Amino acid sequence: MDLRFLEASPSKVEKNAIDVALVGTDCGRDQLLPALHAANDAVGWISEGALNHICRRLSVPPAEAYGVATFYSLFSMQERPRKVVHVCVDLACKVNGAEALVAAQTDFVVRSPCLGVCERAPAALAVEAGGDASYLMPELPLPQLGDSSLRLLRRVGTVDPLSLDDYRAAGGYAALRNAFLLGPQGVIREVTDAKLMGRGGAAFPTGRKWAATAGQPGRPHYLVCNADESEPGTFKDRVLMEGDPFAVIEAMTVAAYATGCTRGYLYIRGEYPRAFAALTNAISVAHERGFLGSNIMGQPGFEFDVEIRRGAGAYICGEETAIFNSIEGFRGEPRSKPPFPVEKGLFGKPTVVNNVETLANVLLILTEGCQAFHQVGTPQSTGSKLFCVSGTVPKPGVYEVPFGTTLRELLELAGGVEDLRAVLLGGAAGGFLRADEIDLPLTMEDARAAGTTLGSGVVLVLDGTVDVGGFLLRIAEFFRDESCGQCVPCRIGTVRQEEALHRIVQRKGDAQDLLLLRDVGQVMRDSSICGLGQTAWNAIESAIDRLGVQL
Amino acid sequence: MTIVDIGLPRRLVEFTLDGEQVTVPEGATILSACKDMPTLCYGDTLEPANACRVCMVEVEGSRTLVPSCSRKVEPGMVVNTDTERTRHSRRLVLELLGSATDLSTTPQVADWMADVGADPARFGPDAATVAQPAKVDNVLYVRDYSKCIMCYKCVDACGDQWQNTFAIAVAGRGFDAHISTEFSAPLPDSACVYCGNCIEVCPTGALSFRREYDKRAEGTWDESAQSATTTVCTFCGVGCNLTLHVQDNEIVKVTSPHESSVTHGNLCIKGRFGWQHVQNP
């Protein structure tokens, strides 16, 4: 291509950081996001010179690279202090004193959407250019640590996450060995018979997704592990990745074996530095020891590699097609479906996308067998589920309970709640339950029958002290900020909803504003391209209709 | 003799459109079978962008409405274009667009709005808009992004679908998303080659010839007094078709027929802008 570049040159530090990041790659467009990270990490922002150098190395037009860089909130296009503190002002932190934490900072503050550490709210992450990122809150052990009934979480906090030997001593890589005995079709049959449903929010049957991808004639097939956990109030995948990273890699390997993938991408959100470090280590150790690469565990002809990709601050990139665009080096905008990922996904090839928790369940199915897996949970919602309990609750954290446990039982595990006002179930795209509805059994089918959703497992508790109007405004603000801007209903609709909600909360609104909320909500649900726009109004609607919030 | 590639013979697909059985070639979109379907981001020479959501229709069995511009017809599909749900969607989409964007030079939009009863003013006087000063940074064309609906067509025409110049891209996110050169550089400092193919596909007049922009500002732009004459460009041997738009014996803009097998509506800087010598003998 005959591209026109800029005159600007990178500094030595920028040039070096970018060049190091590109060593060993084919300098394709898909290296754009890693290269932008390299520049931003090295000096704290992306200068014209750095962008230009990236464009020259990758043969990307500067206007397009600028368009991609400005899509992500973790990248700054203006020079800023080397140390930046990202203070979470999202739902769980908002009700736990986020504003006081903002006020207490002496460094440069960025007000951040949910950082995914809601159990330690209010949360803040300090990032220093050329250095490390670290949480400003003390560590908190798993609330159920030591509980012998834990299955998905059994290694978290008890096994050294950096040691492959410890992982193997604790049952690691037994599932992959069993997978090789079953053969790819056998693995898919087990997963299908186990009735495993996706844990990312959409609850799609995993076995069906795998069978559909495995049967596609196009090659290669790709696997994407969706670790872009960004739904406000969700932090279960982070806990799994930080505490049991080899399990994620093993489960990806099993999925790849079953669906005929030779390459996998682990797309992790940019705000998870500890999980990123744990997984990077796991991939490199697994490679050294023959658990990734070719002839894995001596299985002749089976080849699989995992590349880890960091997101850069965009909730939308957790959407299953936006994640492809982000990996490929384009703006993380969702694609129009059909075609579906199983047919035409990453790089236009058949692709299977699975959430971290979904994959963790696959290991259980293959070690216990699908019959045993079935015995936990309910006939339709099989297995156990991780719930992210946060908000105004004594013992917040990730809890593993069998499907069918009631919300009341879960809240009691977390220390009980006096003066319970409401629970936000499923996240910002989920819905509210009233205090008198907490006997709801937590299953996919009961949630659906009750007109709500378990979503990504968010259980955000609000007691009588919470300013509900301000809480709803934050939900509206979140979707306005995180809309990718591609389609009109979501791009402008989220703005109009936030404006109307502002008027209503400030008591300047009228009946027209309520009608406006409903009208705009309906067009977003009917005509947005992706799930973000289609569900952006769910929580606010349920606050009006279910909580009877007098707006 | 002109050789036209008619491609491989295609099977026919039957489906139901507004209660009538309709047959289209396999691979055809729903839009291709519709009459008078409003569209904004659809371009007859471009891949569907799926962005504006004006052409949404109801397909039986689909949870959401579907964009007719990109959804391919499947055998037995039952499609309704004029239901309470599609009209609600179209009304809201037009209200949202009209509340944020200056649609005063968007052809037909006023009729569509009247048809569904759209009232963009309902969001109140404080509704956020994309209003901003027009970018007048060169002598050939003007970018008035107050009128931009983010249809992606200019980006696609500038990029890999036609011109391969990549001078502009979508930057920012959400309501702040906008069309931009790298670091918002003025056009003369950008990769722009002034082919004007972005103006050709702009559906709202956000991109316009400098002459048109100036005449509109003077109040002398009068489309009813214009004639359009299609001829062949004299600059080189390619033989591009030019359509000269003439008002008061003055060329005021140049387009190219989209169905022309030579240009598909695209020109270079000479054909698009190199006609001043006609006025200044």
At B98-123, the pLDDT tens digits run: 999 999 999 999 999 999 999 999 99
Residue among B227, B234, B230, B224 at smallest CA distance from B255: B230
The domain A164-374 is placed in CATH, from the list 2.40.160.20, 3.40.50.11540, 3.40.220.10, 1.20.120.80, at: 3.40.50.11540
Average pLDDT over residues B129-151: 98
CB pair distance less than 8 Å for A534 and B50: no
- What's the pLDDT band for A551 if we cut at 50, 70, 90? low
- Chains A and B form CB pairs within 8 A to the count of 159
Whether B174 and chain A come into contact, CB under 8 Å, resolves to: yes
Average pLDDT over residues B9-22: 94
- Chain A residues close to B100, C-beta within 8 Å: 492, 495
Q: Hey, what's the torsion of the CAs at A337, A342, A345, A349, to 10 degrees?
A: -140
CB pair distance less than 8 Å for B53 and A48: no
Q: What is the pLDDT of residues A202-242, one digit of tens each?
A: 899 999 999 999 999 999 999 999 999 999 999 999 999 99
- What's the pLDDT band for A1 if we cut at 50, 70, 90? low
pTM (global) more than 0.95 = yes
Q: Is the pLDDT confidence value at B8 over 80?
A: no
- Distance separating alpha carbons of residues B165 and B160, to the nearest angstrom: 8
Q: Is the pLDDT confidence value at A510 over 90?
A: no
The pair of structure tokens assigned to A529 is 């391209």
Q: Is the pLDDT confidence value at A294 over 60?
A: yes
- Chain B residues close to A482, C-beta within 8 Å: 174
Q: Above 0.90 for ipTM, yes or no?
A: yes
User: How many CB atoms are closer than 10 A to CB A470?
Assistant: 11
Residue among B55, B114, B58 at smallest CA distance from B83: B58
* A384-463 and A468-545 have identical folds: no
Q: Is A268 helix (H, G, I), strand (E, B) or coil?
A: strand
Average pLDDT over residues B118-136: 97
- pLDDT score of B1: 53
- Chain B residues close to A500, C-beta within 8 Å: 123
Whether B36 and chain A come into contact, CB under 8 Å, resolves to: no
Residue among A421, A436, A496, A501 at smallest CA distance from A469: A501
DSSP string, A86-124: EEE-SHHHHTTTHHHHHHH--SEEEEES--S-GGG-S-E
Q: Given B65, B127, B174, which is nearest A496 (Cβ)?
A: B127
- What's the pLDDT band for A406 if we cut at 50, 70, 90? very high
Q: What is the DSSP letter of A382?
A: B
Phi, psi of B25 (to 5 degrees): -65, 145
Domains, chain B, in order of start with CATH, read 1-128 (3.10.20.740), 141-279 (2.20.25.90)
CB pair distance less than 8 Å for A523 and B92: yes
- What's the pLDDT band for A550 if we cut at 50, 70, 90? low
Which chain A residue lies closest to B170 (C-alpha atoms)?
A67
CB pair distance less than 8 Å for A66 and B56: no
Residues of chain A above pLDDT 90, percent: 97
- Chain B residues close to A487, C-beta within 8 Å: 50-53
- Distance separating alpha carbons of residues B146 and B129, to the nearest angstrom: 8
- Chain A residues close to B171, C-beta within 8 Å: 66-67, 70-71
Question: Which among A496, A497, A525 is the top mutation candidate for probing chain B, defined by the most B β-carbons within 10 Å of its own β-carbon?
Answer: A496
Q: Amino acid identity, residue A55?
A: C
Instruction: Output the CA torsion sign for A389, A394, A395, A399.
Output: negative
CB pair distance less than 8 Å for A499 and B150: no
Whether B168 and chain A come into contact, CB under 8 Å, resolves to: yes
Residues of chain A above pLDDT 70, percent: 99
Question: Which among A66, A72, A492 is the top mutation candidate for probing chain B, defined by the most B β-carbons within 10 Å of its own β-carbon?
Answer: A492
Q: Which fold has domain A83-135?
A: Glutaredoxin (3.40.30)
Surface of B (84-123) touching A: CB under 8 A: 85, 88-89, 92-93, 96-97, 99-100, 122-123
Structural domain spans, chain A: 12-69, 83-135, 164-374, 384-463, 468-545
Q: Is the pLDDT confidence value at A496 over 60?
A: yes
Cβ contacts of A235 within 8 Å, gap of 6 or more: A116, A117, A118, A119, A229, A388, A390, A398
Q: Is the pLDDT confidence value at A12 over 80?
A: yes
- pLDDT score of B278: 86
Residue among A253, A270, A271 at smallest CA distance from A262: A253
Taking the CA of residue B143 and the nearest CA in chain A, the distance in Å comes to 16
Cβ contacts of A133 within 8 Å, gap of 6 or more: A125, A126, A127, A273
Q: What is the pLDDT of residues A132-160, one digit of tens each?
A: 999 999 999 999 999 999 999 999 999 99
CATH C-level class of A468-545? mainly alpha
- pLDDT score of A478: 98
CB pair distance less than 8 Å for B96 and A520: yes
Phi, psi of A354 (to 5 degrees): -130, 145
Average pLDDT over residues A100-117: 97
Whether B52 and chain A come into contact, CB under 8 Å, resolves to: yes
User: Are A236 and A357 within 8 A, CB to CB?
Assistant: yes
Q: Is the pLDDT confidence value at A103 over 60?
A: yes
Which chain A residue lies closest to B56 (C-alpha atoms)?
A527
Surface of B (210-269) touching A: CB under 8 A: none
- Distance separating alpha carbons of residues A135 and A121, to the nearest angstrom: 11
User: Are A523 and B85 within 8 A, CB to CB?
Assistant: no
- pLDDT score of A362: 98
Cβ contacts of A412 within 8 Å, gap of 6 or more: none
Average model confidence (pLDDT) for chain B? 96
- pLDDT score of B281: 62
The domain A384-463 is placed in CATH, from the list 3.40.980.10, 3.20.20.70, 3.30.360.10, 3.10.20.600, at: 3.10.20.600
Q: Hey, what's the torsion of the CAs at A325, A330, A336, A337, to 10 degrees?
A: -20
CB pair distance less than 8 Å for B96 and A485: no
Average model confidence (pLDDT) for chain A? 96
- What's the pLDDT band for B2 if we cut at 50, 70, 90? low
Q: Given B164, B172, B183, which is nearest A1 (Cβ)?
A: B164
CA A75 from centroid of its chain's CA atoms: 19
- Burial environment of residue B249 by CB neighbours within 10 A (0 to 12, 13 to 18, 19 or more): exposed
